[in-house]
Structure 1
Amino acid sequence: MKITTKINLLTTAWMLCILIIINFVVYFLFMQTTVNMEEDMQYQKAGDILKDIDGKQTSNEIEETFRDHLTEHSYIRIMGPNDKMMYQVTNDKVLAHKIKGNFTIKKQAKTHIISTEHGEEQILIVHVPMKNDNQSLEIGERLVGLEARKETLRAIMIMCIILAAVLSLLGGRWLASTIMRPISNMIKTMEEIETSGVPKTIPIENKAKDELQTMAQTFNRMINRILENLTKQSQFVSDASHELKTPLTVIKSYANLLRRHGIENKEIAEEAIQAIHSEATRIQKMTETFLDIANLEKENVLEMIQVNLVTLCQNILKQLKDVYKREITLQYDHDPIIISADELKIKQVIIILLDNAIKYSNGKIQVLIEQTDHHAIIKLKDKGIGIPEDEIDQIFERFYRVDKSRSRETGGSGLGLHIAKSIMKLHKGEIKISSKEGAGTEAVLIFHR
């Protein structure tokens, strides 16, 4: 079943349920109000009768008074103890026969249902005590007009329900069509994407700020993100292919050199083997870096723990000092300085920055750790070659290298800072680079606490 049909049927069913409930309440209130009005009229008649018979002693006088107040299809009685009927006047013998008299000393009104040749009829009976506590006045009357009004009201209600059903079906169809139009456009767009394989956005014609527009905008944002990722993926593949092309060309060239000259020329063979090994190692490192980038883009790779930045930096610096034999100092104003982070990822960021400082400087490298009420900060300073001011904004892009020739000599791939920024982004932190060409570089890592 189509969703438009479901909406149509559900709205119609809901409207009919509401209308039936309202009609039931209206019918009940109508009956209650009408009966109450009839009761008030009967009580008023009973009061008038009691006034008229006050002081009259003979039966004829009392019955004559009763006849003056008798209405169509009714009776008037005076009842005594033990339900003894003392007087009765009626113009409806069937009614008088079916309703047995009842003596009561309380003022009350009640209804009865009796069966007649025309069907069931409702009877209103009113009891009013007289001055003489041993007698009560009873008036009974067929509610003929009420039955007629009930039939009319029921007919009107049935017609209203039928009319409401028709209008609800028409309105539900229009409503379903209005609601489904943007969804239909979305389905059409999805089918076009499936057929062509090219993501495209949905044209938004409705300017109303509703959920359907929000859904369409969300879909468009998703498509735009997919297009952006496809562009990045294409660029990444292009850049990676370009980066891999050079070492593969070198390997192939030296392999051809070995094939032509063989391994008899020891000097050439050693040079070729060394070059092939070097370029293969470079490809291996580059591949590992590609995998790191792919994992970071999943955005669910963090294993958060409490990390002491002081201890972490001390361990990293000890390792690098032993390997590179460089002077690297560490300063901090507190110990410990704790953040919630993925320790291995933060270690990777710090190593990337220190590795760049070691490659592009010869002097002392300084590492400073600070903390504020809301942040923990790591600063890394070197006195190296620096970065031109017009290239600072581009250094976080994939494969970007300030000095391409020197980067190749030092083994740089142009991916380190991109990875560092991605890791900091996952940690909701920041990385900032400031530099002056020929005067050195300062990298700042900011962690929100």
Structure 2
Amino acid sequence: MKITTKINLLTTVWMLCILMIVNFVVFFLFMKTTVNMEEKVLFQQAEDILRGIDKNLYSSNIELKLNDYITDHSFIRIIQPKNKVVHEVTNDRLLSKKIKGKYTTTKQSQTRLISAENGEEEVLIVRLPIKPGNQLSLEIGERLSGLETRKEILRGILVICTLFATILSLLGGRWLANMIMRPISNMINTMEEIEKSGVPKKITIQNKTRDELYTLANTFNRMIDRIQENLAKQAQFVSDASHELKTPLTVIKSYANLLRRQGLENKDIAEEAIHAIHTEATRIQKMTDTFLDLANLENEKVLEINKIDLVTLCESILKQLKEVYKREILLHFEDNPITIYADELKIKQVIIILLDNAIKYSHDKIEIFLEKNRQQTIIHIKDYGIGIPENELDHIFERFYRVDKARSRETGGSGLGLHIAKRIINLHKGNIKISSKEGLGTNVELFLPNLQRTDS
């Protein structure tokens, strides 16, 4: 069953339930009000009778006096204890026969249903004592003939109104269901188009109603934006990776062809070819490792958080790099130890990436400053090299972006290091900032929050 049909049926059933309750309340109040009005009229008639027969209560012609107060389809009785009827006047023998007299010492009323000529009919009976101490009570009964007619009219009106309201409810429910389902139907159609074509597509929002359906459609469009952005990044990644691999593969193929043509006869050419092939193969291997690191970081969400002594970690890194590159790298800190809670291997990877860049693009000393305050721990890495042009700073964290492509290719850079570093710092809920002036050097600042445990 379609949702529109369900909505239509549910709204109609709900409306019918409400109408049935309303009809019941209206009918009940109508009957109650009408009977109360008739009851007041009958009690007023009883009071008039008591005043009229007050002085002739024991007269022989009291029934003639009572006849003056009789109305259509009614009876008037004077009753003694043990329900003994002393006097009775009536113009409705069936009514008088159906309703037995009852003596009372209190004012009371009741309604009864009797079997009449045209089916059941409601009768109103009132009773009240005539005088305290004289052991007589007055009883008046009357058919509510007009009430039956009014009841039938009211029933007819309520039935017609219910049918009319049901039709309106069906039409209104259908309109409401179509209005609610329109953006959902558009979304379904768009999804089907995406499924068939494989191309992400947004929903066209015609009316900005700012309701839940608008929010749903808007959320879907934002999701499509994210998908398109990720697809674009994926396509860009494949393109950039292919471009990066193309050059070393071309070099390897060229030297391999050279060896195939000339063999190993020319020792100098053979050594040059072997060296070039080995260099480019090493470069491809490093590039592949970088790609794998990047892919793992994109999918990784859980860090291995442990307590780290940052001073000891930096000293260990500097010892290794100094031995390899023979460069002056200075470490500055005021407190020892400086502890943080982080993933040690990944923080080490970030520091090595930044120091590797500083070593590649500078020839002077490199300085590292460690600082800690209440909120965060800060790592400064400063070099005095070629620097970065100001217009390039906004792009340096992008994948495969290199400021000086020729120089980077010579130094073996893939343009992924800073992107990986930023991703790792983001996983630690931290921040990374780079400031630089061309020809004066570059300053990198890592900000890590001082938390007992960092949730990824």
Tell me the TM-score normalized by structure 1.
0.89
Structure 1 residues 94 and 392: CA distance shift in structure 2, 3 A: same
Extract structure 1 runs of 4+ deviating beyond 6 A. Answer: none
Q: Deviations over 1:362-401 (max 9, x none)?
A: 4443333444554443322222332222222221121112
1:358 is aligned to 359
Structure 1 residues 63 and 315: CA distance shift in structure 2, 3 A: same
2:144 is the alignment partner of 1:151: no
Q: Deviations over 1:316-363 (max 9, x none)?
A: 441342343353314255865556x55544443333223222333344
2:326 is the alignment partner of 1:328: no
SS, match of residue 399 in structure 2: coil
Letter matched to residue 249 of structure 1: T
Letter matched to residue 88 of structure 2: Q
SS, match of residue 297 in structure 1: helix
1:43 is aligned to 43
Are the equivalent residues in 1 in contact too, given 2:311–2:338 (CA < 8 A)?
no
Are the equivalent residues in 2 in contact too, given 1:386–1:441 (CA < 8 A)?
yes
2:244 is aligned to 243
Letter matched to residue 90 of structure 1: T
In 2, distance between residues paired with 1:175 and 1:135?
68
Letter matched to residue 328 of structure 1: L
2:407 is the alignment partner of 1:406: yes
2:178 is the alignment partner of 1:202: no
Structure 1 residues 244 and 317: CA distance shift in structure 2, 3 A: farther
Instruction: Measure how far apart 1:27 and its partner are.
Output: 1.0
In 2, distance between residues paired with 1:63 and 1:236?
114
Letter matched to residue 234 of structure 2: Q
Structure 1 residues 443 and 105: CA distance shift in structure 2, 3 A: same
SS, match of residue 204 in structure 1: coil
Instruction: Measure how far apart 1:155 and its partner are.
Output: 0.6
2:454 is aligned to none
Are the equivalent residues in 1 in contact too, given 2:313–2:348 (CA < 8 A)?
no
2:416 is the alignment partner of 1:419: no
RMSD: 2.7
In 2, distance between residues paired with 1:104 and 1:370?
103
Are the equivalent residues in 2 in contact too, given 1:293–1:419 (CA < 8 A)?
yes
Matches within 5 A, 1:108-187: 108-133=108-133, 134-187=135-188
1:253 is aligned to 254
Structure 1 residues 25 and 448: CA distance shift in structure 2, 3 A: farther
In 1, distance between residues paired with 2:304 and 2:74?
91
Are the equivalent residues in 2 in contact too, given 1:110–1:124 (CA < 8 A)?
yes
SS, match of residue 131 in structure 2: coil
In 1, distance between residues paired with 2:315 and 2:423?
23
Instruction: Measure how far apart 1:420 and its partner are.
Output: 1.9
2:12 is aligned to 12
1:289 is aligned to 290
Letter matched to residue 380 of structure 1: I
Are the equivalent residues in 2 in contact too, given 1:76–1:137 (CA < 8 A)?
yes
Instruction: Measure how far apart 1:428 and its partner are.
Output: 4.2
Structure 1 residues 65 and 397: CA distance shift in structure 2, 3 A: same
- Structure 1 unaligned blocks of 5 or more: none
SS, match of residue 433 in structure 1: strand
SS, match of residue 68 in structure 2: helix
SS, match of residue 220 in structure 1: helix
Instruction: Measure how far apart 1:73 and its partner are.
Output: 1.6
Are the equivalent residues in 1 in contact too, given 2:77–2:138 (CA < 8 A)?
yes
In 2, distance between residues paired with 1:323 and 1:313?
16
Structure 1 residues 245 and 111: CA distance shift in structure 2, 3 A: same
Instruction: Measure how far apart 1:415 and its partner are.
Output: 0.5
Instruction: Measure how far apart 1:43 and its partner are.
Output: 1.8
In 1, distance between residues paired with 2:374 and 2:33?
73
In 1, distance between residues paired with 2:233 and 2:211?
33
2:317 is the alignment partner of 1:319: yes
Are the equivalent residues in 2 in contact too, given 1:376–1:448 (CA < 8 A)?
yes
Structure 1 residues 268 and 214: CA distance shift in structure 2, 3 A: same
Aligned length: 445
Letter matched to residue 114 of structure 1: I
Instruction: Measure how far apart 1:271 and its partner are.
Output: 4.5
Letter matched to residue 329 of structure 1: L
Instruction: Measure how far apart 1:150 and its partner are.
Output: 0.9
Higher mean alpha-carbon deviation, 281-290 vs 16-25, is at 281-290
Are the equivalent residues in 2 in contact too, given 1:254–1:276 (CA < 8 A)?
yes
Instruction: Measure how far apart 1:448 and its partner are.
Output: 5.1
Instruction: Measure how far apart 1:242 and its partner are.
Output: 0.5
2:54 is the alignment partner of 1:24: no
Q: Deviations over 1:60-91 (max 9, x none)?
A: 44323322222222222222222222222222
2:390 is aligned to 389
1:86 is aligned to 86
In 2, distance between residues paired with 1:288 and 1:109?
100
In 2, distance between residues paired with 1:35 and 1:447?
84
Letter matched to residue 68 of structure 1: D
Higher mean alpha-carbon deviation, 387-396 vs 146-155, is at 387-396
Tell me the TM-score normalized by structure 2.
0.88
Are the equivalent residues in 1 in contact too, given 2:338–2:372 (CA < 8 A)?
no
Structure 1 residues 168 and 377: CA distance shift in structure 2, 3 A: same
Structure 1 residues 79 and 320: CA distance shift in structure 2, 3 A: farther
Are the equivalent residues in 1 in contact too, given 2:431–2:446 (CA < 8 A)?
yes
2:279 is aligned to 278
Instruction: Measure how far apart 1:279 and its partner are.
Output: 2.4
Are the equivalent residues in 2 in contact too, given 1:295–1:301 (CA < 8 A)?
no
